[in-house]
Amino acid sequence: MSPEPAGIVVVGASLAGLRGAEALRRGGYAGPLTLVGAEPHRPYDRPPLSKHVLAGALEAGATRLPELAALGAVWRLGHAAIALDRVARAIRLADGTTLAYDKLLVTTGAEARPWPAETGGGLSGIHTLRGRDDAASLRSALVAGPRRVLIVGGGLIGCEAASCLRDLGLSVTLVDPNPTPLAKSLGTHVGAVIAACLRESGAAFRPGTSVQTFEGDDAGRVVRARLADGSAIETDLVIAALGATRATGWLAGAGLMADAGGVTCDAACRARAADGTACPDIYVAGDVARWPIRLYGGRLVSVEHWGNAVEQAAHAARNMLAGPDDQRAYEHLPAFWSNQFGINIKLVGLTAGAESVAVVQGSRASRRFLAVYGRAGRSIAALSFDEARWLPAYTEAILSGGAFPPITDATDQPRIETASPGFPPPRAGAPAARRPEVAHV
Amino acid sequence: MKPIGGPGALRVVVDLNRCQGYAQCCYAAPDAFVLRGHEILFYDPTPPAGQRGAIERAVQACPVRAIRLQAGADDGDAP
């Protein structure tokens, strides 16, 4: 081992890794700092990939993130971390090199769930959309003029892609097992609005069924999807928008509580060893972290949100520089946004477990509204369709455990009607570890 | 499609959780920020160096301080 201090190594050079590194420098850390990234790119912003990059308004390479502090870092890009040795305090990279660390920040994020190989996943023309290279490759395929695009999965990515592709004038079919898009994250009561947008845009929406297998031609190109309802869809370009699994494969054998649902950490963002103890030298942040959320009873969640990557990375960095008696708990209210079909969608809070939803401003029919989700008489989440300026007021109510339904005086509804949110039941055969409790993609 | 940056290009990112569509950035730097629909903010993440003054005004004008700008060069050794 070198006599020099090994310093801090950040594994994962995306938004959380970058913001974590910046926070370390801003917090006064002056020692060696190394950022390890599996991709050859400097940190870039993902949200535009499924919107402006697909639409052709931005090149994939234009999404590189601003670096907001002088990092003085060593960048090890293009070589993924493949193993962690906690005893030796070292990680191994795909190029065979070993990097020692004094403290480690794990920000490896998540990976698009691929279409399974046994049902056609190896065919060309089947895309996933997670990284910058995925977006560039998919954009090239769109420019080539596919005859019929099939999108599998009506989550945020699937819906954003459908919206972009219809704007491009492409023929689009979206298949989702639930009655409406966005059913898992927002419920079918609200999802029905997006189902209407999807159909109005000219896309074919096929709810309540799923693709069983893809078939290819002699050249190995996808030509057809066979559906569970017995029908078939001819297609020459597929977007598999099936959600993401946490990038924890490299931690197998490291003795941490890590699986495809994330790396479990304590409230201070310290990774938990397999025996449950918190590792004082390994911190976790962003999509890959599975952390206890105090606002929702301390249950473990992992949230694939831009805002969590930024805030949790900064919080983990703060604790990395603090002493063992000054480890502060991470307090965060999850939030995300999406743009699709000309609508700005914003959510604050977690909808999971909501028993009711109430539209408190505007209406679903106008596609401009604010809805509040409730559980056990409390407001737990608020959703805006093009009414973002109302959100801060409801954010306060969620943070303080405000009543549900919200008080009538604060709304424009003469009488607040509540409805079932319409969350689909968990699908049979979905192992819990592969189905994180919260997975907004 | 707009070409990326150019020499000395700036880098911009907006926290769209914070953004509430006040559109002050669209007045301060209309070549870099555009509001689409009721409140969807579209922005150029790599505006040319010549827009620096306008973007800095947009950063200051944002009522919710959602805009971040890098105008200087990167440090670090690769790539």
Which one, of A117, A109, A131, A136, lies nearest residue A54 by Cα? A136
A vs B: CB pairs below 8 A: 95
List pLDDT tens digits, range A87-128.
Answer: 999 999 999 999 999 999 999 999 999 999 999 999 999 999
pLDDT at B78 over 50: no
What's the rounded mean pLDDT across residues A27-34? 97
Binary contact (B16, A61; C-beta < 8 A): no
Q: Do domains A8-111+245-321 and A114-242 have the same CATH topology?
A: yes
Distance from CA of A65 to the nearest CA of B (A): 7
**pLDDT value for A40:** 97
pLDDT given for residue B73 in this prediction: 76
pLDDT score of A316 more than 80? yes
Which sign does the torsion angle of CA A176, A161, A441, A403 carry? negative
Contact A344 B37 (CB under 8 A): yes
Average pLDDT of span A170-194 = 98
How far apart are the C-alpha atoms of A2 and A99, rounded to whole Å? Answer: 11
pLDDT band at A409 (very low <50, low <70, confident <90, very high): low
Identify the CATH homologous superfamily for domain A335-419: FAD/NAD-linked reductase, C-terminal dimerisation domain (3.30.390.30)
A347: closest CA among A294, A405, A306? Answer: A306
Q: What is the mean pLDDT of chain A?
A: 94
Q: Which of A140-154, A413-427, B14-28 has the lowest mean pLDDT?
A: A413-427
- Mean pLDDT, residues A177-188 taken together: 98
Gap between the Cα atoms of A426 and A115, Å rounded = 20
Q: Where are the domains of chain A?
A: 8-111+245-321, 114-242, 335-419
Amino acid at A124: S
Interchain contact, A42 vs B79, CB within 8 Å? yes
- What mean pLDDT comes out for the span A61-78? 94
How close B51 gets to chain A, by Cα (Å)?
Answer: 16
Among B39, B25, B36, smallest CA distance to B69 is for: B25
b/e code A357-388 from CB counts within 10 Å (16+ = b): bbbbbbebeebbbbbbbbbeeebbbbbbbbbb
Distance (Å, whole) CA A94 – CA A103: 20
- Structural tokens at position A131: 């990284």
User: Rounded to 5 degrees, what are φ and ψ at B36?
Assistant: -115, 140
- Mean pLDDT across the stretch A381-386? 98
pLDDT value of residue A214: 98
Q: Mean pLDDT across the stretch A317-339? A: 97
pLDDT at A439 over 50: no
The predicted model gives A233-261 an average pLDDT of 97
| pLDDT range class, residue B76, cuts 50, 70, 90 | low
* pLDDT score recorded for residue B48: 93
Element holding A197 (H helix, E strand):
helix A188-200
pLDDT at A438: 43
What mean pLDDT do residues A166-173 have? 98
Which ipTM value was assigned to this complex?
0.92
Task: Give the residue from B13, B34, B36, B44 with the most A CB atoms within 10 Å of its CB, the best one to mutate.
Answer: B13
Residue B72: the pLDDT is 78
DSSP conformational letter for A414: S
- Closest residue, chain A, to B46 (C-alpha): A62
- State whether B5 and A62 contact (CB < 8 Å): yes
What percent of chain A stands above pLDDT 90?
90
Across the range A407-413, mean pLDDT stands at 72
Tell me what the mean pLDDT of segment A369-387 comes to: 97
Specify the pLDDT at position B33: 98
Is pLDDT larger for residue A227 or for residue B6?
Answer: A227
Count of CB atoms situated within 10 Å of the CB of A32: 17
Coil/strand/helix, residue A288: helix
Q: How high is the pLDDT of residue B6? A: 67
Q: Read off the pLDDT band of B2 (50, 70, 90).
A: low
- Assign domain A8-111+245-321 to a CATH class: alpha beta
- Residue A257 is classified by DSSP as S
Residue A172 class from Cβ within 10 Å (0-12 exposed, 13-18 middle, 19+ buried)? buried
Question: Residue A413's pLDDT band (boundaries 50, 70, 90)?
Answer: confident
Exposure class string for B3-18: b at 16+ Cβ within 10 A, else e:
ebbeeebbbbbbbbbb
Q: Residue A3 has what pLDDT?
A: 56
Degrees to nearest 5, angle at CA A344 with A339 and A345: 90
Residues of B in contact with A344 (CB under 8 A): 21, 37-40
Per-residue pLDDT at A277 = 98
The CATH number of the structural domain formed by A114-242 is 3.50.50.60
